[in-house]
Each structure stands twice: as structure tokens, then as C-alpha cells.
Structure 1
Amino acid sequence: MAGSRTYAALPIATLLLISGCSSVGPFAPEDGAPAGDIDVAAIPDAVPRIEPRSRSGNPPNYVVNGRRYHLLDTAVGYRERGIASWYGTKFHGRRTSSGEPYDMYAMTAAHKSLPLPAYVRVTNLQNRRTTIVRVNDRGPFHPNRIIDLSYAAAKKLGIAANGTGLVEVEAITPGHPPAAPLQVTPAAPTASASTGTRPGLYLQVGAFVSRHNAERLQMRLAQSNLGRVYIQPTNAGDQAVYRVRLGPIGNVERADQLAETLTGLGYGEPHIVVE
């Protein structure tokens, strides 16, 4: 669900540009689902069409909670996997970053860097449900979240009850081909790894061109007893890269706890990986 919004330290100009409804910071207990049930099957997906950019919500970059975000020049080719959250009653009717009122019963979403508006197909990787939403807001600004869905979209995808879900987000731009499929390199086999088509959840703590440096980090993390640590070799062009990861991790809550612990231990902010 969406989180509390704290903008007091931001300049007024920045406030006007990004003052949307989506989540900033810790989860807000006062946000939630509407009192009555809704039939999301009767709510149609958003229909992609060519639109001009909204007059608000599209600065080249902006700062929230001390972090600077940069907008993409175009939505064409965008595809990403990660964690989705949703926002509901607390923000219903409030102004989004694009200037439109937030409607928790519409098929919309918030994103940190896509141009506003944009259209994306969201797939729940745990049950394969899909829906198309119109991105008209900024967020989520909770660490390791890639999209904040309207309540209706979250319910249609089957993640409203849990509050979060593992998803793939793919931009749909009329007149342009879909983004290339993500290149997913499976983790090294392990008894606890995810099986079948269910996605695995991992934290990437570092990536190195030197295997020796990757092994040094792996040893340090192993001494912290945070779970299984492994090195995933891959290639970036002609360059070998060695990624140091923890996982698989059982659920989003545990991933959030581990990420906070790693940051507290001085490892920086790890990156969520869904494969």
C-alpha cells in the first residue's frame, strides 16, 4: 500500500512538479482498500493511445527524500522486473503529479521515471495475471519498489491483499514494437531456490569486473550470517561481470529487512532482483 508523504524539506518549485499521490517513506496505516468489494472484472484496462506530455510532473529531474530521480526521454523500450505496491483510500481524489485527480477505481499507476502519461502492461509473475494501466503519477519512493498501482489494478492483478507483488512492467507505445524480453540468468542451483515458473527474489549487493573482489565481498557477507550468498557471472558486452547476491529470499518483507540491515552494515543500498 502507499506510504506517508513528507515534502516539508523540498523547495516549493519541486513540490509543484512532483506533488502526486503515490508513496513516500514508510507505509501509512491510514491508507487501505475501500469498505465495499468491487468487481474489477467490470473495470476495463487502460487503452494505449498517443497523448501529449502532461504540463506538470515531467521535470528533467527532481529530488525526493534526498535522492535525485531522472526522467526517461521516452517510454519506448522500457521493461523492468521488481516489486509493485499500491495506494488507495488515503489518496483517492487527491491531485496526482500530472494534475489529474487520483481515482483508485481506475486503471492507473505511479512511476518514478517514465514520461507522464505513459501506458504499461503489468504482469504478476506469481500468478501470470496481466493488466494495462495508464501512468499518471510519480512514485513509489519506498526503496526497492518500481511501480505503485491503483487499488483496482492491484486487485485485478491479485496483489491487493498482500500489499506488494513481484511484477514485470513493460511500456506500450502505439506505433512502436514492444521492448525486448529481459535476459534472465538463473541463479546457481540450490535446494532452496525457486522452482518452475515462480520468480525468485534476490538482493544484489555488488557487481565487479574482478572475480577476486566479488569473492572478497562474498566472504564478508557470509560472515554476517544473512543467508545464502552467491556469485553470478554474466557478461556486459565483451566484459565479464561478477554479481554478488543474497537469496533466494522468501518474501518482500524479509527482503526489506535484509536491505535495511545491509545498509546499516555499510554495504550501501542493495538492488532488488526478480528472476
Structure 2
Amino acid sequence: MPSRGKALVHTVAAGLLLVACSGRGHGAAIPLASFGAYQASGLASWYGEEAAGHRTASGDFFDPNGITAAHRSLPLGSLAEVTSVDTGRSVVVRINDRGPGRRDRIIDLSRGAARALGTDRLPVASVRVRALAPGSRVGIVATDAAFAPTPVHPAVPRSANDRYIVQIASFSNRDRAQALADAVSAQVLPAGNLWRVRLGPIQGAAAAQEARDAMAARGYGDAHILPAD
């Protein structure tokens, strides 16, 4: 793999490792060996545009449309499966913030996560939360099967020269797009009224898939791979 492709993948991986190990925020961090042991039932609230662009406990900029959540004790950067008791839908969220502030709630979802569960029209919803062990091959997607994470292996498009880009997300606000691009060494490209954040070019389908999975783990489940040319 050319040095640029390796550097991009290593930058993403290093950023994820720092987030997962930072331990910032309130509440005692759970040991790595206990990731898969945590389960709880209770109320989930959600937050949206009022916090857009603010720093989370992990250091990320909060994206209301991302699939993320705030939890009091699960390690920052870890994944958790949240299931709505009422709709039966499940979503895998990345823990990137600390909360909720109210003690009668067990998790605070991003608006995007609440929308995926079908609970974004309610101020609170009954949920079950289960931590996922490191290395779980799950996608940041909603499913109607409670406690059954859905494996995601997006097809990599064919490229004549085997060079790819990962389109991470699109924003209507350029500053937010640039903040994400700076955090993961990506580029911002205008597309009409939107700003697209793209990573690459990356040499090789395997490296592109690794970068895409890393972005999904950060909460950008819509990240997808495109041919570079």
C-alpha cells in the first residue's frame, strides 16, 4: 500500500484508540474486559441541534445526525446496542459523551440515533442498552430484531486502478464539515448547497474498507466507499 494510504488508515485508527482510551468525562470507566457484560433497562432521552458543533467528552464535535450517545460509565469510544421497547428497533451507537444529567435516565441519544429507533418524536423512551465487546463486526444501523446486531459488509465498488475514497458525511454547514475533516485528515468538497467530507485516495479495497469501518465506529454509519476516479 502506498505511504499515503497507510498514513490515512493509521491516522483514523490512532484517533479511535485515543478516544477509546481517554477516559475523560464523569463516571468510572468500565474495564475493557467488561465491555460485553453491561446491560441495563430504563429511559433514554435525546439531544439535537441545540448542541450541534459543541465538543463532546471524547473531544468530538457533536453531530445531531450522527449515531452516538452519552452514557455515565461506558468507555468513551465503545459501542452499545440500544433497543426501543416500544418499536422493537435496535441501533448500535458509539459512546462519545457523558450523561444524561437526570438520574432517572440511563442514556442520552443523538437525534440521529433516536430517529433510527423511531423514538425521536418523544422526549423519552423505554430502552434496553447492551455494551458490545471490542471487535464486534456490527454496523451503525437500525434493525427490528431486538438484541441482534446486524453484520454489515458494504460492497466495495470496482475501480480500474484500485484507488478509492471514503465519503464520510455531508453537511450544510462548512465549518462543521471542516471540523470533521481536520479531525480525521480528510478533505472538504463543495456539492451544491452541501459540503462533503471525503477521505483518500486510498490504495486497495481492503484499506478502503478498514477506513470506512473506522468512520462507522465514530458514528458516521452512512460512510461509504467510492472509486477514486
Q: With structure 1 as the length reference, what TM-score do the two structures score?
A: 0.41
Larger Rg: 1
Q: Comparing both chains, which one has the higher relative contact order based on Cα–Cα distances under 8 Å and sequence gaps of 6 or more?
A: 2
Q: Whose helix proportion is higher, 1 or 2?
A: 2
Q: With structure 2 as the length reference, what TM-score do the two structures score?
A: 0.48
